[in-house]
Amino acid sequence: MGWGQENFIHAFNQYFNPDIFKYEVAIFDRPHNKIVDVLATTGAIGMASYVGLFFVIAFFLIRRAVQVRKAAMGWSMELGIVIGLIALWSAYHVQNLVLFEMPTSAIQMFFALALSLWFLDSGWNPLGHTGKSENIDYKISPVRTGLYAFASLGVVWSVWVGTCIPFLASRGFINAMVYFSQPMNEEYFNKGLSLYVQSRNRNTFLNKEFDINLARHIRNITIPRTEAWAQAYVNFGHTILGYLDDDMNRYREDYDILVEASNLMLDLYSKYRDPQTEALRQVSTRAIGYAPRRFEAYESLFLFELIGNNKDEAQRIMDQLFRLGPTIGDTWYYQALFDAQWGDRGAVIGDLQKSILYGFSLHDKAREQEWLLNMFVSQKRFDEASAFLEYLRTEPHAPSQYQIRYGVLQVEVVYLSGDVSRARLLLQSLLSKLSDSGKQSVLQYLNSRGIIVEP
């Protein structure tokens, strides 16, 4: 434990504590800080080796600098070589951990510094033990000059490939995310897709981060409910899945790729019945096998079995979730889904109250709200759907900023139940509390969902 390119990621998944850690919530978040926390409490050897890696680098640099300072006023060729070797050694151990946003840029900078010191330092040499030095007329040989020129070109090339191209790709991807974060229309969708594909085709080390984060993001965008948009969304999802499949083949044990691929497959299946069921099972099972103690590895598979009405498989997964953490709020949320589908439907609110007790807030999780709401709506249990929304609205911990959302969802549920006149009254009451811009946003959202109600 503690050495090698990916050993810390393996240690993280091996010693993952689901009571403490949740899934990644930030772009480019790779959990080296979490690894330190976990290994500090469960693996002294791994913790010592991880911290020792950086300690050794600092120790040798400081010791060598002190020695050179005592020997002569200036730098030595030996110090340049030492710095270069340490830079390469460090790069080997950290290249698969994104400890910095672009670690290659720092490695290139230190390598260029070491190379320049090696080339330029030999004009000063220490003499004996007197502490004196003299300037030696030193001529740089053509071979040395040629080697330096060749190496300099290599550094320039590596800076272009390792820093400049990733910077351009990253900027393009950020612009794509801006388009995908806007109210969706055909122009924004096409521009975002074009920028994403361009960034992806630059073929940088950021590719898998682009794919993971876009797959995570698009599940939360709202698209118009038309057949053309549905097909465009499915095609877009297949594009991302194609890239994620390449990532899975290249990074065979990257847990995040497996989780996001299974989540995207589930999203396409649940919304549009995209027939990738066997692939979803395979990817989810692979994620569970790689990190059996990580809670979110089971999420997509459980929801898939829930949609498919496979009670026995869903029960098996629920049993495993309770073994992982009966005091985890997420566990009780999934129990609420299970009860809404097969169990005691009156127990759903009790399950949600337990989830809140254990730190799970449904109020700021729109996707989870929709899953539970759709459980009722898909079975035409509109009274239970309305009761669920009323619970969210009146729950003591309900933030005031979400009341408008709950009101809009209530209008949608009542409209889908066929009671258009009551939906109109609810909408009128809701709009009377909003500004003009707020009214426009609500009406646009309802129209995008196919809810046409004249206030």
The pLDDT tens digits for 122-145 are 554 444 444 555 555 555 567 667
Does pLDDT of 117 surpass 50? Answer: yes
Encoded tokens for 166: 């990733």
- For the segment 375-399, the average pLDDT, to the nearest whole number, is 86
Token code pair at residue 185: 């229309």
Span of 54-68, 170-184, 223-237 with lowest mean pLDDT: 54-68
Q: Yes or no: say if 79 and 64 are a contact pair by the CB < 8 Å rule.
A: yes
Q: Supply the DSSP symbol for 160.
A: I
Instruction: Return the pLDDT at 102.
Output: 41
Closest CA to 451 of 224, 153, 220: 224
pLDDT of residue 67: 66
* Tens of pLDDT, residues 416-449: 999 989 999 999 999 998 888 888 888 888 887 7
User: Is it the case that residue 292 has pLDDT exceeding 60?
Assistant: yes
Find the mean pLDDT for residues 42-55.
57
Residue 291 burial (CB < 10 Å; 0-12/13-18/19+)?
buried
Q: What is the mean pLDDT of residues 11-15?
A: 56
The burial class, CB within 10 Å (0-12 / 13-18 / 19+), for 145 is: exposed
Taking the C-alpha atoms of residue 202 and residue 238, their distance in angstroms, rounded to an integer, is 20
Average pLDDT score over residue span 55-64: 67
Question: How much of the chain, in percent, has pLDDT values that exceed 70?
Answer: 67
Residue 2 near residue 49, CB atoms below 8 Å:
yes
d(CA 279, CA 310): 17
427: which 2 tokens?
Answer: 């909408």
Share of the chain above pLDDT 90, in %: 20
Provide the token pair at 139: 């001529």
The per-residue pLDDT for range 150-174, each reduced to its tens digit, is 777 777 777 787 778 888 888 899 8
Ramachandran bin of 359, using left for φ above 0, alpha for ψ from -120 to 50, beta for the remaining angles: left
Q: Which one-letter amino acid corresponds to residue 26?
A: A
Higher-confidence residue: 448 or 300?
Answer: 300
C-alpha 88: how far from its chain's center?
A: 28
Average pLDDT for 209-228: 85
Q: What share of the chain is helix, strand, coil (3-state, %, to 5)?
A: 75, 0, 25
List the domain boundaries for the chain: 7-125
Average pLDDT over residues 340-348: 80
Q: Band of the pLDDT at 99, cuts 50, 70, 90?
A: very low
